[in-house]
Structure 1
Amino acid sequence: MNITAAVARSKSEPLTIEELELDDLRPDEVRVRMVATGVCHTDAIVRDQVYPTPLPAVLGHEGSGVVEAVGSGVTSVVPGDHVVLSAASCGVCSQCMSGSPTYCENAYEQCFGGRRTDGTTSLSSNGEQVSSHFFGQSSFATHANVVERSVVKVPADVPLEKLGPLGCGLQTGAGAVLNELQPAAGTSLVVFGAGAVGSAAIMAAKVAGCTTIVAVDLHDSRLELALRIGATHTINSGSADVVSELKKITGGKGVDYAVDTTAVPALLTQALDALAIRGTIVLVGAAAAGTTVPFEIGESLLKGWTFKTVIEGSSVPQVFIPRLVELWQQGRFPLDELVRTYEFKEINEAFADSASGVAIKPVVVF
């Protein structure tokens, strides 16, 4: 069938809206008519070839939509089901089999390879191959053939326009707190970077019962939003000494948990300096390969601190995303506060607004 898609053709150049051909479903695939898709920082760094998915490519990995057809081997959904799309995984490696699909041993091929595992792509333009199956989906298109392991069924009475960001960014931030850190009620947590991922971590910290929740960012508008969705304190890192402020907020003890969404080495060093004894730092931000962070290991030995890297919130999407939907329905995960919507033709504006900070979570609605 013919579809309309936003195609990344050249490094760091705007996407172009084009008509493409979508091939036939494979037995393990689901054809989804897209209703909405989030625009994520990962899409931008792949467009810019920090992660080299072969171009031309259709990106997008926070899709939501309606199932139109299923392959012969698909059992989890049927035509008409409403779905959110998340990261792909192979399902057969030791990590997938032990319940950690976001750490799939074949994750790079599954998410960034631009091809099915048999080497084919579902998208073409007058005989030219166009990379597909980005994170198993390539949701910057009106329709996509999506691998079944990327598909999460959600209730039909929940507006799909709101749910796309759950597939990556919001799952990442919330899962880093609820799945990985699992903070006890009454503890303290700081989030570096109050964008979409950081905002999700703030909301999750409130759900978990943290009583000191600090947002750190350069943009006052984001810090104001952070206070509305769960933060108890904010720090503008451009005008304040972050470490001394965190020590002051915690009465000199330091923070129990830190979530870094920026991958800026200097901020990670600040997070360590502000950490309490037995504290934990979680890094969810994506940095270029080869990025390093200097950590002091003399005096800090006495802290017994932990550093973790976390992908996709250490989630099993088919389990965790429905939980986030339920929290949203209860008013405890107010993702609406983060979203700014764009028409499909405005997708490059959505990228620009995300980069400038004008929009916290841009969502393209088809």
Structure 2
Amino acid sequence: MKIKAAVTHGLGEDFKIEELELSDPKPNEVLIKIVASGVCHTDAVARDLGLSPFPAVFGHEGSGIVEKVGSSVRTVEPGDHVVLSFSYCGHCENCLTGHPGTCIDFNELNFGGKMEDHSHRLHQHDHGVSSFFGQSSFGTYAIANERNVVKVDKEVNLELLGPLGCGIQTGAGTVLNQFKPKFGESIVIFGAGSVGLSAVMAAKIVGCKHIIAVDIHTNRLELAKELGATLTLNGNEVDVVKEIKEATNGGSHYAIDTTGVPEVVKQGLLGLRPLGQLAIVGVTGDMTFNVHEYIMAEGKTLVGVIEGDAVPQLFIPELVDYYKKGMFPFDKLVEFYDFEQINEAFEDSLSGKSIKPILRMN
């Protein structure tokens, strides 16, 4: 079938909405009419660093309606509302023990440009076009493996739900699945974008006593306070580590860095109490620090967390339920754009003008 999709033909190039051919789903795949798709920093990184082969259709926070299912699909049927999440093999040790975000084939399945059977579903002029995260949701339709597809409540606005598949799942899941803080413990979130603010809301759900948000944008810090932060710190105006230690009586139990900025990562480590844990959830480059001083001497932990260590089929419906109960108001992060405004949406995301852009496919 012919579809419209946002194609990137080369490193760092703008998105161009073009006509592509989409193949029929294989037995374990699902055809989804995309209603909306979140814009995630990972899409920009993939485009600008060439994480997937070009030409490519990016997008990995899709939401839509099932139109057709393959012969072996059992978990969804035509008419179901679904969110698309990351791709995983389903049979390696990490997948089988409930950690599909660290699937041994994660990079190949999500960034390799082909589906699980090493073929393309997207074509243009008889040539294959790379898929992304096993879905490529920057299009009017998408094919995804059944494992990528999460059935969601039809009572909730489907246009809102795509970002639950990655960014929002990452922030909330790092708190609820990785840290699992006890009531009354403390957490610091560095970066008040969509990932960080999702972590703020999750920390409020579990009853953290101190929920400290750190950013350099006043408007984002104000929203963090509205969503549950008990203290906000502007990194350009205060000694962040000093303020954290004073507020938490010696340091936080947990911290999350969403920024990928080496100096901010160091602040996160220094602001922990002994035995504290810092999770890295953003793309972070080379950095240098004294391991004894920053980690070993106080028994601290530095850990990378992918996709909130979530099982999407279990965790995303849980987040939707929290949203319906008014406990997880992630709609306050969202700004909608028409599909044709995709390049504007990416610019606004980069500048900080928009916390979580969502493209409506119309």
User: TM over 0.5: same fold?
Assistant: yes
Tell me which residue corresponds to 1:61: 60
Q: Which runs of 5+ in 2 are unaligned?
A: none
Q: Deviations over 1:20-42 (max 9, x none)?
A: 10012111110000011100000
Q: Tell me if 1:330 matches 2:325.
A: yes
CA positional deviation for 1:245: 1.2
The amino acid that maps onto 2:237 is S
Q: Normalising to structure 2: TM-score of the pair?
A: 0.98
Alpha-carbon contact 1:61-1:139 (below 8 Å) kept: yes
- Which of 317, 338, 346 is the matching residue for 1:351? 346
Question: What's the counterpart of residue 6 of structure 1?
Answer: 6
Equivalent residue for 1:240, pick from 233, 238, 241: 238
Amino acid at match of 2:343: N
Cα distance in 2 for partners of 1:119, 1:332 equals: 41
Q: Which residue of 1 aligns with 2:157?
A: 159
8 Å CA contact 1:269–1:293 kept in 2: the answer is no
Residue 91 of structure 1 contacts residue 101 of structure 1 at CA under 8 Å; is this kept in 2? yes
Counterpart Cα distance in 2 of 1:30 and 1:299:
47
Superposed CA RMSD in Å reads: 1.1
Question: Aligned partners of 2:300, 2:324: CA distance in 1, in Å?
Answer: 36
Q: Which portions of structure 1, spanning 4 or more consecutive aligned residues, are displaced by more than 6 angstroms?
A: none
- TM-score normalised per structure 1: 0.96
Report matched runs for 1:171-320 at 5 Å. 171-251=169-249, 253-288=250-285, 291-298=286-293, 301-320=296-315
Distance 1:24 1:223, change over 3 A: same
User: Which residue of the partner structure matches residue 135 of structure 1?
Assistant: 133
1:149-208, Cα deviation, whole Å (9 max, x unpaired): 100001111110110110000000000000000011111110000000000000000001
- Indicate conservation of the 8 Å contact 2:95/2:102, yes or no: yes
CA contact (8 A) 1:3 1:22 kept: yes
1:56 Cα deviation (Å)?
Answer: 0.5
Unpaired stretches in structure 1, ≥5 consecutive residues = none
**2:133 alignment partner, SS class:** helix
CA–CA separation in structure 1 for the residues paired with 2:227 and 2:309: 23
Within 2, Cα distance between the matches of 1:166 and 1:52?
A: 22
- 1:106 aligned onto 2:105: yes
Partner of 2:125: 126
Q: Distance in 2 between matches of 1:298 and 1:162?
A: 44
User: What one-letter code is carried by the residue in structure 1 that aligns with 2:108?
Assistant: E
How many Å separate the matches in 1 of 2:257 and 2:321?
Answer: 26
SS at match of 2:292: coil
The equivalent of 1:22 in structure 2 is 22
SS at match of 2:237: coil
One-letter amino acid matched to 1:46: A
Aligned to 2:83: 84
* Cα distance, 1:223 vs structure 2: 0.3
What number of residue pairs does the alignment pair up? 361
Query: What amino acid maps onto 1:29 in structure 2?
Result: E
Structure 2 contact 262–284 (Cα < 8 Å) conserved: no
Q: How much does 1:123 deviate?
A: 0.7
